Structure 1
Amino acid sequence: MDILDRLTAVTGPGVILPGADSPDRYHHDWTGLPAVVPLAVARPGTTAEVSAILATCHAARVPVVPQGGLTGISGGAHPVAEGIVLSLERLNGIESIDKDAGTLIAGAGVVLETAQAAAADQGLLLGIDIGSRGSCQLGGILATNAGGTAVVRYGMARDQVLGLEVVLADGTVIDGMNTMLKNNAGLDLKHLFIGSEGLLGVITRCVLRLHPLPPARTTAFVGCPDTSRIIALLGAARATLGPALSGFEVMWPSFFDFMSGATGLGSPLAGRHGAYAIIEATGFDMAETRAGLERLLGEALEDGTVEDGVIAGSLKEERALWAVRESPAEYARVLGPVIPFDVGIPIGRMAEAVTAIEAGVSALFPSARTLSYGHIGDSNLHVVVNVPEAGQNQPEKAVKACVYGITRDLGGTVSAEHGIGAVKRDYLAHSRTAEEIALMRSIKNLLDPLGILNPGKSFDEGQPA
């Protein structure tokens, strides 16, 4: 009996699909790596089915690659030809929302936007927001410890998790569905799996923290002379707005001036500036929330920190202020193939990093277009590079060596919020010591001794897919 027959025998009909008959969407993620047709695609609808699939693959030593919404840019969900794709998309139920405890219990396949809406219906807020909210799934968000635009107030995905249910490589189910904020009974095992990219176990269910939903929100868009003034504005925003500061996004001219023109979205400001920021404040009284943001901008305009700015007066205007920042989905149309980066840079060295990266890429490829933007409030810098004459064969090796080398030299990290996956594996040592990586591999060997889970990704010693 081959592996497909064995899997079908333990799951029943309708769960296992031969790879050759599977839709193309399971053959790649958003990374842009060449599509790979797996042996099969498994689409379990219950934790018990996930357990049976993993136990069967473990016994047969068949690799398993977990997949969520496939929105990652690091190749963490990219299939291997000799393995099984384990799609969690059918684990898409929201089991409960407890308003008193401020918790949401959901399956790993729940789409973020769906979870956000369910929380909002109860007057609560899920403190995770990402541009791909309409397609990314909770399991993938937790497996990569994703960030997004709300980190400056609510923290990373890890900070929203109270409990997890995880299935280990051999099919063992770990029921860690804790619903309490305080639980110090032994090791907090959930943190082994959050951010581990499916190398240690497969997340099937989660308990997430919810917060009161602020009824008031106001947004400003500003232009500053340079990065140093942007950082000064961030400090002033924290001091003036306190916990009301819920978003602080920065765009350098390389990104904003190009994308505002190329997409036709335009700019809310009359002139051009050395750096742009979106500031979002939320609270429980609209007049107070807006007054706080107006006070911040008034003082910043007076002392020269801000050159020009505007505050949205309606939801339509608010969306317009965010439009360029949320336009990366247009890269394929306005740029063509890109080499994307998600790095972390100490805030005090952010200006140096942007200048060095844009200049470094330009020195290698004078025609290259390098766009810089990010969540500066949490030290996250996004860079995308396109070399026009390279077409579909972008010079990834040379560009990555440049960007990751600068990141390492400035004391940054090669991954701020998208994981390591397959495409950053060779650069992990830029950000982690040999001793740290050895410990990661020891934990991997303990929990997955046969190495079937997501081989070749992140700190795994197998060859990349």
Structure 2
Amino acid sequence: MTALNASSAAALEALTAVFGADVLPGDASPKYLQDWSGCAGGQPLAILRPRSTDELSRMLAICHAHGQAVVPQGGLTGLCGGAVPAGGEVVVSLERMNRIERIDIDSGTVIVEAGAILQTVQEACRDAGALLAVDLGARGSCQVGGNVSTNAGGNRVIRYGNTRDLVLGLEVVLADGTVLSMLNQMVKNNAGMDLKHLFIGSEGVLGIVTRVVFKLQPLPKGVSTAVVALHDYPAALRFLRHAQQSLSGQVSAFEIMWNDYLVTAVAAGKLRAPLDTNYPVYVLIDMHCGQPETDAGRFEAMLEQAIEAGWILDGAVAQSVAEAEAFWAIRDGVAEVLRDYAPTLNFDVSVPIAQIGECAARIRTELDRDWPALKALFFGHVGDGNLHVVVCKVPSDHDSQMRIEDAVYSVVRSYGGSISAEHGIGTLKRDWLHYSRSEAELALMRTLKHTLDPKNILNPGKLI
């Protein structure tokens, strides 16, 4: 590390005086320098791992007094560089604050510290007889505080909503160490402004989430799952409307995979294709059941009606949990694709549901025209308007990558869409944020940032 400036040296000395050996040197572990995006950072000044909200509050008060920049970190499963230090900041990892404090089945809530692993909380709630509906592929590594700070989406948004829709209350520490205790446990609470929404999805630039109150759902008694093949996106859209109506809104996942993605994911993951013939478009659909014996029949009747209507060309219904997991392994197989086809550019965009097919076709046309050698894969959460695009084996030079990004984001902008449906902005999408937000909106974001963090110490250079 280069020589410290006076303020950083003073901050490090003050932190060490109070917290001693709990202040780890900046080179203590490389795991704090990179997230899943592959965006590598610089060496931080130090690594702090508070055990409680009080400890974090005192740490931030010291950093604030010395103007020392801070980077909050969760499970580091982000894909935008939002938790990666640029160099010289203090990293604050929430990994020690991982307690599940209380599961209240009668009230339908769970109170949990921000550093708890999502899957651990899901399993504890399941054991207690309830469902925590926040769910995404990184469940075994991501932390719930990171889910809140990025407003994570995932596989169940079509039925249960984004993380924002499942948060009742928060505890947050501001830049100067002030603790906001907003641990509301009621669904209805109109006592003034609902301040928690300032921090959900703000990527740690306004405050650090320390505790969360999640709303729980009744635990499903079963799940019906199928993979079906269709002619094209319009057929998938008609099938979605039919399924939602026939199953009275019980569709809990509706995942689309174009042929190029499914074939590539099956090969990369050494998986078994769900159907014997190749088709243009596939949908993975499942329904959380309350009465498995009768609901399974309703599910299959819905599929039969779609076949008779000509929307579905072929399909397979999972006959066991293992078969359902095999279907989901294809949809979740993007990690193996990224491994085998690196370097890649990964896009997480959204447009109105009716226009996803047209948007995907236009993106493909733009890429094929200017980069015919590239391979682009398309899949997504159709029920909530979220389209994922993986561009494989991209040129390594920055200029080419920026041109590819501009080509994709320009199409998305033309539909009034979002450059980030569920992954956040971080550093990797910051230059494109104006494609989805007006200057007035960006100005207000900067005003909020300055009001809550006038010294700009919380996650500087991220989001805005």
Distance 1:71 1:431 in 2: 24
Distance 2:381 2:344 in 1: 20
Residue pair 1:105, 1:205 contacting (<8 A) in 2 also: yes
2:260 maps to which of 231, 254, 258: 254
Partner of 2:461: 456
Identity %: 46
Code of the aligned partner of 1:272: N
Task: Report deviation, 1:392.
Answer: 8.4
Partner of 2:327: 321
Is 1:2 the counterpart of 2:7? The answer is: no
Code of the aligned partner of 1:253: N
Distance 1:107 1:206 in 2: 6
Distance 1:61 1:348 in 2: 48
Code of the aligned partner of 2:235: R
Partner of 1:60: 66
Q: Structure 2 vs 1, CA of residues 285 and 398 (structure 1 numbering), >3 Å: closer, same or farther?
A: same
Q: Which runs of 5+ in 1 are unaligned?
A: 460-465
Residue pair 1:367, 1:387 contacting (<8 A) in 2 also: no
Task: Report deviation, 1:282.
Answer: 1.1
Distance 2:148 2:399 in 1: 30
Deviations 1:7-44 (A, max 9, x none): 1223x234211102x21110111122233211111111
Q: Structure 2 vs 1, CA of residues 169 and 273 (structure 1 numbering), >3 Å: closer, same or farther?
A: same
Distance 1:149 1:378 in 2: 10
Is 1:13 the counterpart of 2:11? The answer is: no
Distance 2:386 2:294 in 1: 29
2:76 maps to which of 70, 75, 92: 70
Distance 2:182 2:295 in 1: 39
Is 1:410 the counterpart of 2:415? The answer is: yes
Give the structure-1-normalised TM-score. 0.96
Q: Which runs of 5+ in 2 are unaligned?
A: 1-8
Code of the aligned partner of 1:99: I
Partner of 2:49: 43
Task: Report deviation, 1:259.
Answer: 1.6
Distance 1:395 1:264 in 2: 31
Task: Report deviation, 1:393.
Answer: 6.9
Q: Kindly report which structure 2 residues correspond to 1:154-233, keeping only aligned pairs within 5 A, or say none.
A: 154-233=160-239
Give the structure-2-normalised TM-score. 0.96
Distance 2:277 2:396 in 1: 33
Partner of 2:4: none
Is 1:128 the counterpart of 2:134? The answer is: yes
Deviates most, 324-333 or 295-304 = 324-333
Kindly tell me the number of residue pairs found equivalent between the two proteins.
456
Q: Kindly report which structure 2 residues correspond to 1:410-429, keeping only aligned pairs within 5 A, or say none.
A: 410-429=415-434
Code of the aligned partner of 2:24: L
Residue pair 1:387, 1:394 contacting (<8 A) in 2 also: no
Partner of 1:31: 37
Task: Report deviation, 1:251.
Answer: 0.5
Q: Kindly report which structure 2 residues correspond to 1:57-456, keeping only aligned pairs within 5 A, or say none.
A: 57-387=63-393, 390=395, 395-456=400-461
Distance 1:296 1:394 in 2: 49
Distance 1:364 1:40 in 2: 45
Task: Report deviation, 1:5.
Answer: 2.1
| Root-mean-square deviation over aligned CA pairs | 1.3
Distance 2:209 2:252 in 1: 28
Poorly superposed stretches of 4+, deviation over 4 Å? 391-394
